[in-house]
Amino acid sequence: MSLSKTSLYFLTVIVFTILFLQATIPLWRNHLIVDIWFYFERAKHFFTYHSLSNLVNNEHLPGALFYFFLASPIFLLEKTLDAYTWTFFLLGFIFLAAHVLLYRKISGTIGVLIFLLILLFTGPILLFRFELAVSLLMLLSIYFFKKKKLSWSLFFLGMATTIKIYPVLILPYYLMIFFKKKQKKKILQTLGFFLLGVGIVVGGYFLIGGSLEELSSSFQFHALKPLGLESPLATPLILFFRNNFHRLPNLIGAYGVWGIEIDFLPVDLNFFNFLPLAFVFLFYLFLHFSKILTKEFEIQVVFLIFLIFLIFSKNLNPQYLFWIASIIPLLEINQKKKNNLVLIFVSFLMILLLTQYVYPILYSDLINSFSRNAKILTPVIYCLFLRNFLLLVLLIVSAKEFLFPKRS
């Protein structure tokens, strides 16, 4: 697809402007700003004390903390949440621009256009979160892996894992490719550079006063989160509960999320903590014992790994969808199967749009729908159910297209 650099630049500026304007509108901002307050407090703490030794109740991993610190130079002028927020937005736009450049290098103009369309349907939430830092490092890892530059690829993957854990899910895929090629030395090399990427960030965290106890508590924080209201796993449980108890389940507000009570189930939270890992493990077993896995890297496999993990996760916060959204511009378009890929893409855009309505636009209505002894499924609940149903459809269609292309 041919499009001049000027036209592409112009479209990028338009999309960035729309995101910025949305970020200033109370309909989006009032819900989304809450997380930036936590980032602000951690950045201010380090800027003031030049150490993490007294930082408590921190849920974020070392790499995420370093990302928060990138916006802290504004404290030289003004130590306010408002000033930090604008600087955090600027940081987000810098990372968005880096994404655009990388997509153009990997996938050309069509990749950039797909990414810009995804941003429009995602809304401004990425400016209020730190997903962009993880996805950029992930994309760099994938780019260098395809270029056979393993040291850089695994180094960036290791760094990405120190911000959020999910990038480590594709490490076994890298290793399986080398195993398939019978390149055992590269398996050790791969692990070495991955650990180097992790070690540099985590080592820096300890050097500035971070502790193993505090790092451990951040993992425990996420393990204690209740089964999220927005999780696809919660949808059938809500319907089951309503059918058997003639009301909606009570909500639990804890550890930064709204979740549903699961006292009526014969399992505890640990079951839901390990469930997504179990399904990813089963998918890897399927790849290993089937004849589908090739000796070459296929971005479709990465897409499916993340999609499986998200669908079976106990929490599906809106920004988590960017884990797979960032992969979509890299999907390889087979001209004979173009219609199937368009269907996957359009379905995903609908998922993003419905997600915006659920959170943040109608999130207060969603929470109020679960007031004590509530019995009625409100329109926003149906929006949530439809979103989660479309995620399942996306998994089925994608698996059929990417794993069994000859039969689709």
Mean pLDDT of 47-75: 94
As given in the structure block, the two tokens for residue 230 are 């927005």
Residue 322 pLDDT more than 70? yes
More confident residue, 22 or 374: 22
More confident residue, 324 or 404: 324
Mean pLDDT of 181-201: 90
CA proximity to 349, closest of 160, 48, 138, 123: 123
Q: Which stretch of DSSP H or E encloses residue 32?
A: helix 26-49
Q: Which stretch of DSSP H or E encloses residue 78?
A: none
Mean pLDDT of 225-240: 97
pLDDT interval class at 334 (50, 70, 90) = low
- Distant-in-sequence, close-in-space partners of 312: CB < 8 Å, separation ≥ 6: 232, 233, 275, 276, 278, 279
Residue 287 pLDDT more than 60? yes
What is the per-residue pLDDT across 250-286, written as a single tens digit (0 to 9) for each?
A: 999 999 999 999 998 989 999 999 999 999 999 999 9
Residue 406 pLDDT more than 60? no
Residue 222 has, within 13 A of its CA and on its CB side, a CA count of: 17
pLDDT interval class at 373 (50, 70, 90) = confident
The whole-angstrom distance between residue 146's C-alpha and the CA centroid of its chain comes to 22
Contact 120, 15 (CB under 8 A): yes
Q: For the ranges 62-66, 106-110, 128-132, 156-160, which has the lowest average pLDDT?
A: 106-110
Helix boundaries (H) for 50-122: 62-69, 81-122
Top-ranked range on mean pLDDT: pick from 182-191, 209-218, 261-270, 275-284: 275-284
User: Rounded to two decimals, what is the model's pTM?
Assistant: 0.95
What is the per-residue pLDDT across 35-47, written as a single tens digit (0 to 9) for each?
A: 999 999 999 999 9
pLDDT of residue 3: 80
pLDDT interval class at 408 (50, 70, 90) = very low
Contact 183, 27 (CB under 8 A): no
Alpha-carbon separation of residue 185 from 172, 181, 182, 295, 346 (angstroms): 15, 11, 9, 16, 42
Residue 407 pLDDT more than 60? no
- Distant-in-sequence, close-in-space partners of 172: CB < 8 Å, separation ≥ 6: 284
Residue 56 pLDDT more than 90? no
Distance (Å, whole) CA 143 – CA 139: 6
Radius of gyration of the chain (CA): 21
Percent of the chain with pLDDT over 90: 84
Distance (Å, whole) CA 247 – CA 245: 6
pLDDT of residue 337: 63
Residue 165 pLDDT more than 50? yes
As given in the structure block, the two tokens for residue 101 are 């450049």
Rounded (to 5) percent helix, strand, coil in the chain: 75, 0, 25
Residue 61 pLDDT more than 60? yes
Residue 315 pLDDT more than 60? yes
As given in the structure block, the two tokens for residue 69 are 């610190």
Phi, psi angle pair for 2, to nearest 5°: -100, 130
pLDDT of residue 338: 67
pLDDT of residue 335: 57
Mean pLDDT of 189-197: 94
